Amino acid sequence: MATLQHFALLLVGAALVNNILLTRFIGLCPFFGVSSSMDTSLGMAGAVIFVMTLATTATWVFWNVLLEPLGVAEFLYIPAFILVIAALVQFVEMYLRKASPALYRALGIYLPLITTNCAVLAAATESVRPGLFKMGIEYNFGFGEALIYTVGVAVGFGVALLTFAALRERLEVAPVPAIMKGTPMAFITAGMLSLGYLGLAGLFGL
């Protein structure tokens, strides 16, 4: 039971309390780039969940099999992870195009977009690299924990993105003063949404 509770808390902590977009401000480019409509953000959210999980799995393997035994992990992990994630996304794109055209169409253009997305790199780094300690969380995960954490981060990304997209769609038809229309209004909305997410700090003592 203790493990189950631990995993559940990890999931909620990663998704809501330490929301990657609105509490920690990582991955803000897609947050503003694709959030103008619900359709595109749904595609992006799906692609992020998919790629983040895969990326963590792959980087975990490379960290533990190659980088750590060679003793180069500490300074080489960023280029190595980018290389691994980029190649992996390319591979997955090819595979999907052959094996599942429907999924390929759904994720389509969003897959290459997140090849070197900072949120993907951040999630992989935090969950794979041991001994990291920041924002009250000690990042020292086993493989299972790493995977749960990554899924949590990705789900948090998706939820925040979809909420923001829904708000922006409403704001499109709202009587906003001309000088505030578009991006300025999006920035203000994002700020308020971020304040809302900060209110989740302390949830379940996290």
**Residue ranges that bind another protein, judged by CB under 8 A:** 62, 66-67, 70-72, 75-76, 79-80, 83-84, 86-88, 90-91, 94-95, 97-99, 105, 108-109
Helices 73-99 and 38-62, axial angle in degrees (round to 10): 130
Choice between 86 and 137, CB closer to another protein? 86
Choice between 83 and 201, CB closer to another protein? 83
Choice between 19 and 41, CB closer to another protein? 41
Closest approach, Cβ 43 to another protein, in A, equals 9
Closest approach, Cβ 73 to another protein, in A, equals 9
Closest CA to 57 of 156, 157, 155, 151: 151
CA 134, distance to chain mean position in Å, is 17
CA–CA dist 200, 197 (Å, integer): 5
CA–CA dist 119, 153 (Å, integer): 9
Choice between 83 and 188, CB closer to another protein? 83
Is residue 150 within 8 Å of residue 124, measured between CB atoms?
yes
